[in-house]
Amino acid sequence: MAEFKYKAKDSSGRTRSGKVSAQSKAQARALITRMRLNVLQITTTKLDNSGGKNNGDDGTTPILGNMIVKDKDGKIQLQLGASEPSTKDLIVFTKQFATMIGSGVPLVQAIGVLAEQQVVLSFGRTLNKIRFSVENGATLSESLEAYPKIFDSLYVSLVRAGEASGNLDTILLTLTVYLEKAAKIKSQVKSAMFYPLMVVAVAVIVITVLLVFVVPIFAKQYSDSGKQLPFMTAMVVNASTFITTHFLIIPGVVFGTLFAFRAYIRTSQGRAILDDSLLRLPGFGVLFRKLAVGRFCNTMSTMLTAGLNILEALTICAASSGNMTIEKFVLGVRGKIEQGAKFSETLAEGGLIPSMVTSMVAVGEATGALDDMLVKVSQFYEDEVDVAVKTLLSMIEPIMIVVIGGIVGFIVIAMYLPIFDMASLGSD
């Protein structure tokens, strides 16, 4: 048993500090989280009586930070790489873990075997730390909770429910289905955004090449002639001159703007404005709303099927929504249910959830099959997202072609206008 000093933030944002006793850092983090605190820092202040050094959560002793360590057998290990596992890695791990637990393989042994099989070495080390934590008396959910970047609150809550019910293998399989659906939704969003971004990138490159390399050649010839340029031609030449004379400054301004924008959206105010704007975007707003509704229903159905009550499920749905507007709405729904309101009635307020969904939720409440009804709604919205993505792409393609073709055509016509003028003057 060791003593750990911590710094954390409470629900009101105030920083709190204190000490807890636990068998490992993972268990200490879990204990602090149970106190409804968001952990900022944990340090060891008092070690156990084993006389050992400040061991890591997996039984290793740091020699040079986390890069060079000594394992529990005394061997020196070089730990490189800090990449986190992908969603696919997590899905494969969860599915294999469920299969091994369902086959009767002991928990610690299953984690150890899966740790050795990981291609992402950092994930394998994390699993070894989890195995070591479980060996030292922590529950699996407590051990997973120490790594929120890999195992989010939904994952941990479902594992905790599986431990409490004794159906961990079944819950893990349910979690696998959820992760696969979430990965599919994420892939749909990427496919919807990839094509427009690629077309814009190609268009920027083509227009930049024209302005930097082609237009100056025409501009020099027209300058030598000494004749006044048409308005369109003068505008393109001036744009070309500006870009060529500020070629090194423009990328700096662009990247500086992007950096400032990224820093702003990481603030609470910036993130709130961005999330609300995404739901209101023409074309894309409809897609993002359908994605949000589908994800909400999918998460709720998964949590309720696992045996969590509706208030716990709503809390986790809010935290895992990925959108502050949705999070605020879901927390509002939770608060009203605590005061005695019906789930379907609170969902209908605010106009964020379509009436079709609230009607089906009302039927699910009345029949006692809310989780099954939410599954059907999430499946419906999976198809809706597919249709929305295809519709959006079919609309964007001709618009992008017309816009980009218009810009390139404008540049070409502007550069040939003086030639047409000279030809008309020659014929006169």
Tell me the domains of the chain and their CATH numbers: 2-69 (no CATH), 87-180 (1.20.81.30), 185-428 (1.20.81.30)
* Contact between 90 and 150 (Cβ < 8 Å): yes
Burial class (CB in 10 A: 0-12, 13-18, 19+), 65: exposed
- According to the model, what pLDDT value does residue 260 have? 94
Q: What's the pLDDT tens digit per position in 150-179?
A: 898 888 888 988 888 888 898 899 889 888
Averaged over 397-425, what is the pLDDT?
81
Q: What's the pLDDT tens digit per position in 25-78?
A: 666 777 777 777 777 777 776 544 444 444 445 555 555 555 555 555 555 655
As a whole number of angstroms, the distance between CA 252 and CA 192 comes to: 29
**Banded model confidence at residue 1, pLDDT cuts 50, 70, 90:** low
- According to the model, what pLDDT value does residue 53 have? 42
- Give yes or no for residue 284 having a pLDDT over 50: yes
- Give yes or no for residue 224 having a pLDDT over 80: no
**DSSP letters of 301-368?**
HHHHHTT--HHHHHHHHHHTSS-HHHHHHHHHHHHHHHTT--HHHHHTTTS-S-HHHHHHHHHHHHHT
Q: What's the pLDDT tens digit per position in 305-353?
A: 888 888 888 888 887 777 888 888 888 998 999 888 888 888 888 778 8
- Give yes or no for residue 95 having a pLDDT over 90: yes
Considering only CA atoms, give the Rg of the chain: 29
Instruction: Considering only residues 1 and 248, tell me which one the structure prediction assigns the higher pLDDT.
Output: 248
Q: What's the pLDDT tens digit per position in 107-158?
A: 999 999 999 888 888 888 889 989 988 888 788 988 898 888 889 888 888 8
Tokens 């989280």 found at: 33
Report pTM. Answer: 0.65
Beta bridge partners of 3: 21, 46
- The runs of H, that is alpha helices, within 210-309 are 215-225, 231-245, 249-265, 268-280, 284-305
Share of the chain above pLDDT 90, in %: 8
How many other C-beta atoms can be found within 10 angstroms of the C-beta atom of residue 14? 8
- According to the model, what pLDDT value does residue 76 have? 60
Averaged over 277-287, what is the pLDDT?
83
